[in-house]
Amino acid sequence: MVHASTGPDGGTPLRRTPRQARSRARLALLLEAAERILVGEGVEALTTTRVAAEAKVSVGSLYQYLPDRDAIIESLASGYFARLEGVMDDLVRTAAREQGREREQEQGQGEGAGQGQGQGRWDDPVGLLVDTFARVYRTEHGFRALWFGSGLTERTRAADREHKRRMADGVRRVLLALGVARDDAALARACHAAILAADALAQEAFRRTPEGDADLLDEAKAMLRSYLTQVVARYAPG
């Protein structure tokens, strides 16, 4: 489901920002109609007339919220970005909780604390991150249709760059939560590079097949493991 949200650059592409529950629900229905067209017919079909017809509302009603095709595309993109960033936030919180539990266990074990460390869900953080976002890509058909189409606006492309920076910050926070790095400019830069590479490989994997080319995703994991292992090695004690 597509949720109504602010614009992809933190502002809003909407002509009218819905504040009441009824208005928000109406906008959500308009965006759901737009997503059905996007998935079924492609980004080129996302016209205000076509979306209004699919949503069974007048074009005038659509114009209250989505004044043109660019606003439709930007609002859809904003929802997809928010979904992906929400998943990353959940992973950061999970990493912090798991690391906290490990510390408590180490304190309770005393001298034998180091044995078995890192054997939980976060034993392979790169694999976990890639697999988690691959599952999102598989279910977000509209996201794939939008990104693989040719109708992205300049505003959406700029928003995508900011989205990647926020995703990179999520990777940075995961590494910090796991206690394997120190917060500095070099870490932020390395995480941004990792996200740019991972995004390019993920897009290619899902261009090849809707399920994501498993071999290419495995190559992405191998590359990112090697790179991030080198990154965290910089922070290892003397």
The mean pLDDT of 114-133, rounded to a whole number, is: 74
CB atoms under 10 Å from CB of 59, counted, come to: 12
- Can you give the pLDDT at residue 103? 73
- Can you give the pLDDT at residue 104? 75
Mean pLDDT value across the chain: 87
- CA torsion 149-32-76-60 (nearest 10°) is 100
CB atoms under 10 Å from CB of 82, counted, come to: 16
Of the two residues 113 and 146, the one the predictor is more confident about is 146
Instruction: Examine the pLDDT at 22 and tell me if it is beyond 90.
Output: no
Say which residue the tokens 């995961």 belong to.
174
Give me 23's structure tokens: 């208005």
Closest of 154, 124, 134, 153 to residue 203, by C-alpha: 134
Provide the strand spans (E) within 148-238.
none
Whole-model pTM: value is 0.84
Instruction: Examine the pLDDT at 171 and tell me if it is beyond 70.
Output: yes
- Can you give the pLDDT at residue 62? 94
- Can you give the pLDDT at residue 10? 46
Instruction: Examine the pLDDT at 69 and tell me if it is beyond 80.
Output: yes
Q: Which of 44-58, 64-78, 109-123, 175-189 has the lowest mean pLDDT?
A: 109-123
Indicate the pLDDT class of residue 119, thresholds 50, 70 and 90: very low
